[in-house]
Chains A and B, each alone.
Chain A
């Protein structure tokens, strides 16, 4: 066969041997350090269990009131509050309450962790161009790599269950909050930063008194996206043993249960809309200072 028709290719044996060697060494690595890594994630596991137990064990009335008040505090919109309550009531009425609580718990913990890791990384990226150059390609990989692929090493390291699921969710959901924190800070008007410098503001003062407040609407958009991604990944992570609304969906696919799939699918859509509306309304409210008054 000529070179024109056939792309140069590593021989099948070499390729197989190479893959085998890498897999084997990774297996060795996870056998060696798996326990240690699990130990490191012990606090996260504790957090996951506590949060899930709280949401599933507490009376549904209390949970409903709690979610309604969070929705109110975030959005200050009675429409959004009523919508959230009705959605949750319907979900409960159709027997999906417990799974929904499990999904919300997982999404909540993953989003909190992603946000609290992501914002400092974003701040660092905005401060240093070197950090930006290092982080950008990593974020590109994280955002384009099919999520199933990085489930593999996570499962090899930690087995299946809550913690590996959480890890996968965080990896999937963290890029937007990092990117938008960086972007928001970098977009802060130069004139305003100059005023900060002129009055002798330190780096920390410029960050907390100028950059973060002005970047907040953009950061909020990042938080919104991170929560949405976390939610969608929590569903996919049912493949590695994460409980919640994803499992009935998986079951429905395997057994072709159309109605079961649809119901749980709509429950996911329902809570996605609640999360989205509340965080967006909150983000909007933070930009109040940009409105002009009409009187006078």
Chain B
């Protein structure tokens, strides 16, 4: 498979209930979640999910509780099998793998962090952390070394020999994170992994994840119900509602062009200055003479740009590309205007 679509989720439908196949046709005909539930006693958890995920990027799925996020991410390691549809990872259809193949795939290619931690209560932090390596048959010395590295990285050194229930929720969540990272798998599935963390540690963990993606070439699938977190982390963001993807795109697209009122309600709380980039609102002046000392780059957020421009005591900044060529200008007034502009949305 090309770099472009490392993971492809194709036409996934997932129905929970006594006989999911029997109502699949109804779903194809467009029956809604609530009707399927009340009249046919089945839960429509996911409907017609199609999305491609690029290699070495962070893909975020966002949605409220019950929107199907956990169900979707579990399709990527087949903890949940689709009622219909396929998941292709690195060219292989994991939905049609044998038990043995899927076990191997889980051991070597994909690691997961859980919302509810799912630590083994009878094991210490250390042996919880190297659990995946132990399953894989890695030697004790080796797996301890690897585990200690990540325990340290998530800020838990000194707690190696504690049992999970001797730790706070946030600490347990970081043990879960260390366990997922110790496995050193190319794909990381994270189901609301930071939900129990304090804001400061949370930010630190978010930074770590971004760094990992860049340095270690990891493809990260990240679930959150927090738009700020989604915008901070996501190279691409998909928003789920009632088991459907209702919008997909990068942070800027979602903030600037929310698909409907549901999304715009989310977006209205966001600090747009931290999302919108200079290139989006700059005026495309190409008169080199106008270059001044307030220099900003096209990919910079407008919040950062505003800081640079006002610190140089000017009203207008010059947007230079990475070759030092002037590609546009941006005024503090434009920046303020786009931060406070009411959001318009495409549909409904």
A50 to nearest B CB, angstroms? 36
Q: Which stretch, A36-44, A167-175, A192-200, touches the partner chain B?
A: A192-200
- Name the contact of B106 in the complex, choosing from A200, A290, A292 (C-beta under 8 A): A200
Q: A198-B79, A289-B165 are in contact. Are A192 and B120 (CB under 8 A)?
A: yes
Residues on B with C-beta less than 8 A from A49 are: none
Would you call A195 and B105 a contact (CB within 8 A)? no
Q: A210-B120, A214-B122, A290-B121 are in contact. Are A191 and B106 (CB under 8 A)?
A: no
Closest chain A residue, CB of each to CB of B100: A202
B172 to nearest A CB, angstroms? 12
Q: A200-B135, A202-B103, A290-B165 are in contact. Are A191 and B122 (CB under 8 A)?
A: no
Would you call B132 and A214 a contact (CB within 8 A)? no
Residues on B with C-beta less than 8 A from A209 are: 120, 131, 134-135
Residues on A with C-beta less than 8 A from B106 are: 197-200
Residues on B with C-beta less than 8 A from A270 are: none
Contact bitstring B108-128, A, C-beta under 8 A = 1, else 0: 100110101111111100000
B97 to nearest A CB, angstroms? 12
- Name the contact of A191 in the complex, choosing from B111, B116, B123, B162 (C-beta under 8 A): B116
Residues on B with C-beta less than 8 A from A289 are: 121-123, 163, 165
B203 to nearest A CB, angstroms? 25
Residues on A with C-beta less than 8 A from B108 are: 200
Say if the beta carbon of A201 comes within 8 Å of chain B.
yes
Residues on B with C-beta less than 8 A from A293 are: 162, 166
Would you call A192 and B103 a contact (CB within 8 A)? no
Residues on A with C-beta less than 8 A from B79 are: 194, 197-198
Q: A199-B106, A200-B104, A200-B107 are in contact. Are A191 and B114 (CB under 8 A)?
A: yes
Closest chain B residue, CB of each to CB of A296: B166
Would you call B165 and A205 a contact (CB within 8 A)? no
Kindly state the separation between the CA atoms of A290 and B79 in the bound complex, as whole angstroms: 28
Would you call A200 and B103 a contact (CB within 8 A)? yes
Say if the beta carbon of B219 comes within 8 Å of chain A.
no
Closest chain A residue, CB of each to CB of B167: A292
Interface residues on A, range: 10 to 19
B70-111 residues at the A interface, CB under 8 angstroms:
77, 79, 103-108, 111
Contact bitstring A197-231, B, C-beta under 8 A = 1, else 0: 11111100100011001100000000000000000
A70 to nearest B CB, angstroms? 24
A65-85 residues at the B interface, CB under 8 angstroms:
none
Residues on B with C-beta less than 8 A from A214 are: 120-122
Would you call A199 and B165 a contact (CB within 8 A)? no
Residues on A with C-beta less than 8 A from B149 are: none
B57 to nearest A CB, angstroms? 22
Residues on B with C-beta less than 8 A from A205 are: 135
A residues adjacent to B (C-beta < 8 A):
191-192, 194-195, 197-202, 205, 209-210, 213-214, 289-290, 292-293
What are 29 pairs between A and B in contact, CB < 8 Å? A191-B116, A192-B118, A192-B119, A192-B120, A194-B114, A194-B118, A195-B131, A198-B77, A198-B112, A199-B106, A199-B131, A199-B132, A199-B183, A200-B135, A200-B136, A201-B103, A202-B103, A205-B135, A209-B120, A209-B131, A209-B134, A213-B120, A213-B122, A214-B121, A289-B123, A290-B121, A292-B166, A293-B162, A293-B166
Nearest 10 A-B pairs (CB), nearest first? A200-B107, A200-B106, A195-B118, A191-B118, A199-B132, A198-B112, A289-B163, A200-B103, A213-B122, A201-B135
